[in-house]
């Protein structure tokens, strides 16, 4: 089989964004491999992101898809005051570049901005930064084995959940 | 501004079994300005941890109320706190959050200061044709009026006319001891600074840290996740430290915890957490028992939500969170939060503590954002003045009594008031401490 192409890479990260925006969370979860790394480092100071997630704090750090399932279940439970009315979110993903495509693996770098509108409070918020997606081919499909979110604006207004990053 | 008397805002009549707080406390911008001036900028507030400025020339910037300050350690290791403002034109001499610098050069006209706060250069001073009056003035950085450390916790006051720090902390300082005693080397913050805002009054946060009534109402979505994780343990999912404790579960049998009210506005909500492997500290349990005895060691595992009025919280429950509350407006608050750990814990304990922390305490996790949302819901409702008095400070009125109890004696704690009870008691009398501390400081302006 051929290595990961830029078109396939784009297709995968764009699909992920679209599924989140359409709140198709089951389909979103299907994009990830079982032992996915889902990681959003914190900032240690004005200029440095946290590194080793076992020694330094992250905003989100999960190894394993069941953690993402927990997050999705909570978002849709109707029992979370901040999520009872889910924000309307649009992801814009640009500057997609393919790196290190070899065999059944490839790394994809991109930039993102999410705009969120909270019907609960009429608040608008936006978050932006860079993504690093590690893709692997499983049964002919490209799946996400690694999603790292380097969040630029880390002063979080009220909430920032997995649906808006 | 509407002229308030204290009794219009805090209706404190223990003889009638009444304690009420007015909605205006949360919703009036003019009162907020008074709070900034007479509470935050006129008394002790928490600044940060000594471990954040550990080495010579380390510095850390923060605010006291609305005033920027800078903590600096000099070449000899002496730690001081100054207004973060150049005496020349007032520019902040450091705009970074933290760092290490021997010299601070003002970005505007290059006046230069040592890490001791001393002025080292007024640019082109000789050629500047200054008058005699200028030479008589002090050009050093301006030290804040009072600065003190208690077991690695740093506090400052812009007002010189305050009690000594130990007296201000009072008996609440022994709750700090329970954290600081966990390691011979003391405490440190895990690298990684998390900040968030909520569109509500700062006192919502002050109260919620002590609010044992809300957990099963505000956080059922998290509780469902915890229950599922307890049922289906898997290697990729980190066990919550809450699973082994009953204080939050809403039962009505047996004593599961309670509250202590302290002098000067401080308060503690606590719950029994049996020492068990889901707690990072458990690796040191035998040593802690040996060193401190079983009762004191057990207290180190208990849930302890401490508020040091007005701006510091130490929440020991799902992990360990240090919080600084920064009021921005009457209806906007900024939080700075850190994971606080004993130095020298094992890599495995550190990992466990961090994972538990992220899931619970981050605004990107599964609990805190729900708290933020309910504060905001309150802020909307609190603008309604037709019925000024809230009914949220009355649970526990017949359970509270003066002085300590058996649990306090275990750690030689002498609180002003104590409550113990079932999970359903969910005492609210400890909030009264905050408002008595508030009234104490506001008495000078609100007769």
**Sign of the C-alpha dihedral, residues B383, B387, B388, B389?**
negative
Helix axes B285-292, B294-301, angle to 10 degrees: 130
Whether pLDDT at B169 is above 80: yes
Q: What was the pLDDT predicted at B210?
A: 95
Calpha distance B190→A40 (Å, rounded): 16
pLDDT tens per residue across span B250-285: 888 899 999 999 999 999 999 999 999 999 999 999
Q: What was the pLDDT predicted at B233?
A: 74
Residue B36 has a CB neighbour count (10 Å cut-off) of 17
Calpha distance B124→B111 (Å, rounded): 10
Q: What was the pLDDT predicted at B178?
A: 97
Q: What was the pLDDT predicted at B259?
A: 98
Q: What was the pLDDT predicted at B203?
A: 98
B239 vs B12, which has greater pLDDT?
A: B12
Min distance A154 CA to chain B CA atoms (Å): 7
* Nearest C-alpha neighbor of B314 from the set B426, B214, B176, B181: B176
Q: What was the pLDDT predicted at B89?
A: 98
Which DSSP string do the residues of B420-437 spell out, in sequence order? EE-TTT---HHHHHHHHH
Q: Which two three-digit tokens encode residue B384?
A: 């309604």
8 A C-beta contact, residue A59 and residue B369 = no
Whether pLDDT at B38 is above 90: yes
- What is the mean predicted confidence (pLDDT) over A92-113? 96
Confidence of residue A32 (pLDDT cuts 50, 70, 90): very high
Pairing of strands B417-421, B401-402: antiparallel
Calpha distance B283→B140 (Å, rounded): 48
8 A C-beta contact, residue B364 and residue A71 = no
By the CB < 8 Å criterion, does A52 face chain B?
no
Ranges assigned E (strand) in B14-66: 18-21, 45-49, 58-64
Confidence of residue B243 (pLDDT cuts 50, 70, 90): confident
Residues 65 to 104 of A: which have CB under 8 A from any B CB? 65-67, 70-71, 73-74, 77, 79-83
Q: What is the average pLDDT value for chain A, to the nearest integer? A: 97
- What is the mean predicted confidence (pLDDT) over A46-60? 97
Q: Which residues of A touch B198 (CB under 8 A)?
A: 158
Q: What percent of chain B clears pLDDT 70, i.e. is strictly above it?
A: 100
Whether pLDDT at A100 is above 90: no
Which DSSP string do the residues of B367-397 spell out, in sequence order? SHHHHHHHHHHHHHHHT--SS-B-S-S-TTT
By the CB < 8 Å criterion, does B224 face chain A?
yes
Q: Which residues of A touch B191 (CB under 8 A)?
A: 44, 50, 55-57
By the CB < 8 Å criterion, does A129 face chain B?
no
Which of B221, B231, B329, B380 to substitute to test the interface with A, most A CBs within 10 Å?
Answer: B221
- What is the mean predicted confidence (pLDDT) over B285-304? 97
Whether pLDDT at B234 is above 90: no
Calpha distance B71→B67 (Å, rounded): 13
Confidence of residue B383 (pLDDT cuts 50, 70, 90): confident
Q: What was the pLDDT predicted at B120?
A: 97
* Nearest C-alpha neighbor of B363 from the set B219, B201, B189, B194: B194
Confidence of residue B386 (pLDDT cuts 50, 70, 90): confident
8 A C-beta contact, residue B201 and residue B27 = yes
Q: What is the average pLDDT value for chain B, to the nearest integer? A: 96
Smallest CA–CA distance from A80 into chain B, residue: B221
Task: State the burial class of residue B77 (Cβ atoms within 10 Å of its Cβ: 0-12, 13-18, 19+).
Answer: exposed
Task: State the burial class of residue A162 (Cβ atoms within 10 Å of its Cβ: 0-12, 13-18, 19+).
Answer: buried
Which of B190, B221, B225 has the CB atom closest to A57's CB atom?
A: B190
By the CB < 8 Å criterion, does A156 face chain B?
yes
CA angle at residue B309 from B367 to B315, to 5 degrees?
Answer: 30
By the CB < 8 Å criterion, does B355 face chain A?
yes
- What is the mean predicted confidence (pLDDT) over B204-218? 97
Long-range contacts: A114-118, Cβ < 8 Å, 24+?
A114/A89, A114/A90, A114/A164, A114/A165, A115/A89, A115/A90, A116/A87, A116/A88, A116/A89, A116/A164, A117/A87, A117/A88, A117/A89, A118/A85, A118/A87, A118/A158
- What is the mean predicted confidence (pLDDT) over A6-34? 98
Q: What was the pLDDT predicted at B393?
A: 96
- Predicted ipTM > 0.95: yes
By the CB < 8 Å criterion, does B366 face chain A?
yes
Q: Which residues of A touch B226 (CB under 8 A)?
A: none
- What is the mean predicted confidence (pLDDT) over B25-36? 96
Calpha distance A18→B442 (Å, rounded): 53
Whether pLDDT at B245 is above 90: no
Q: What is the largest CA-CA distance in chain A?
A: 50
- What is the mean predicted confidence (pLDDT) over B74-91? 98
- What is the mean predicted confidence (pLDDT) over B37-62? 98
By the CB < 8 Å criterion, does B367 face chain A?
no
Whether pLDDT at A98 is above 80: yes
List of residues 6+ apart from A59 with CB closer than 8 A: A40, A41, A42, A151, A154, A160, B194, B358, B362, B364
Q: What was the pLDDT predicted at B5?
A: 93
Q: Which residues of A touch B234 (CB under 8 A)?
A: 64, 66
Q: Which two three-digit tokens encode residue A98?
A: 């393919």
3-state secondary structure of B12: strand
Which of these ranges, B214-218, B246-250, B262-266, B370-374, has the smallest mean pLDDT? B246-250
Q: What was the pLDDT predicted at B287?
A: 97
- H or E element in which residue B300 lies: helix B294-301
Min distance A145 CA to chain B CA atoms (Å): 14
Q: What was the pLDDT predicted at B443?
A: 92
Which of B194, B224, B237 has the CB atom closest to A59's CB atom?
A: B194
pLDDT tens per residue across span B408-420: 999 999 999 999 9
Put simply, the answer to whether A81 touches B370 (Cβ < 8 Å) is yes
pLDDT tens per residue across span B87-112: 999 999 999 999 999 999 999 999 99
Q: What was the pLDDT predicted at B159?
A: 98
- What is the mean predicted confidence (pLDDT) over B67-72? 98
């Amino acid at each position: 089989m051929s290595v990961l192409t830029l078109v396939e890479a784009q297709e995968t990260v764009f699909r992920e964004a679209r599924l989140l925006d359409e709140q198709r969370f089951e389909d979103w979860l299907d994009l990830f491999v079982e032992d996915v790394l889902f990681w959003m480092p914190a900032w240690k100071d004005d200029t440095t992101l946290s590194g080793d997630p076992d020694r330094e704090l992250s905003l989100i750090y999960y190894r394993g898809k069941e953690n993402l399932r927990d997050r999705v279940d909570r978002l849709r439970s109707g029992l979370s005051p901040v999520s009872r009315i889910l924000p309307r979110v649009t992801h814009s993903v640009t500057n997609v570049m393919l790196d290190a495509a070899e065999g059944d693996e490839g790394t994809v770098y991109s930039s993102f901005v999410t705009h969120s509108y909270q019907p609960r409070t009429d608040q608008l918020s936006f978050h932006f930064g860079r993504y690093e997606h590690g893709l692997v081919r499983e049964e002919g499909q490209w799946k996400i084995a690694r999603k790292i979110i380097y969040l630029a604006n880390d002063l979080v207004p009220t909430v920032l959940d997995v649906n808006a990053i | 501004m509407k002229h308030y008397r204290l009794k219009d805002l805090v209706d404190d009549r223990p003889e009638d079994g009444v304690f009420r707080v007015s909605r205006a406390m949360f919703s009036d911008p003019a009162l907020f300005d008074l709070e900034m001036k007479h509470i935050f900028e006129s008394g002790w507030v928490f600044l940060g941890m000594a471990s954040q400025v550990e080495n010579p020339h380390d510095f850390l910037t923060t605010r006291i109320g609305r005033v920027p300050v800078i903590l600096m350690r000099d070449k000899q290791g002496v730690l001081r706190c100054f207004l973060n403002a150049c005496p020349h034109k007032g520019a902040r001499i450091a705009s970074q959050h933290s760092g290490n610098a021997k010299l601070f050069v003002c970005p505007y006209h290059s006046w230069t200061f040592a890490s001791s706060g001393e002025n080292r250069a007024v640019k082109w001073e000789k050629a500047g044709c200054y008058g005699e009056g200028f030479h008589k003035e002090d050009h050093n950085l301006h030290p804040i009026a009072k600065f003190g450390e208690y077991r690695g916790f740093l506090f400052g006051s812009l007002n010189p006319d305050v009690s000594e720090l130990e007296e201000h902390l009072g008996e609440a300082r022994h709750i700090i001891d329970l954290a600081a005693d966990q390691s011979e080397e003391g405490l440190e913050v895990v690298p990684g600074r998390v900040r968030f805002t909520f569109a509500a009054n700062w006192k919502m946060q002050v109260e919620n840290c002590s609010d044992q009534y809300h957990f099963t109402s505000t956080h059922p979505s998290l509780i469902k996740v915890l229950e599922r994780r307890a049922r289906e343990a898997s290697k990729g999912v980190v066990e919550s430290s809450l699973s082994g404790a009953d204080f939050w579960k809403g039962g009505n049998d047996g004593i599961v915890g309670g509250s202590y009210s302290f002098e000067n506005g401080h308060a503690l909500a606590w719950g029994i957490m049996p020492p068990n492997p889901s707690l990072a500290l458990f690796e040191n349990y035998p040593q802690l028992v040996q060193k401190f005895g079983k009762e004191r060691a057990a207290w180190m595992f208990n849930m302890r939500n401490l508020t040091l009025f007005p701006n510091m919280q130490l929440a020991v429950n799902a992990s360990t969170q240090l919080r600084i509350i920064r009021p921005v407006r009457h209806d906007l608050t900024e939080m700075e939060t850190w994971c606080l750990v004993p130095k020298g814990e094992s890599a495995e304990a550190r990992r466990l503590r961090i994972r538990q922390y992220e899931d619970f305490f981050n605004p990107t996790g599964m609990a805190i954002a729900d708290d933020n949302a309910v504060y905001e819901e309150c802020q909307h409702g609190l603008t309604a003045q037709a019925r000024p008095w809230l009914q949220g400070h009355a649970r526990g009125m017949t359970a509270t009594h003066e002085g300590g109890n058996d649990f306090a004696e275990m750690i030689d704690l002498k609180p002003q008031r104590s409550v113990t009870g079932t999970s359903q008691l969910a005492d609210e009398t400890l909030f009264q401490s905050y408002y008595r501390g508030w009234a104490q400081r506001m008495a000078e302006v609100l007769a």
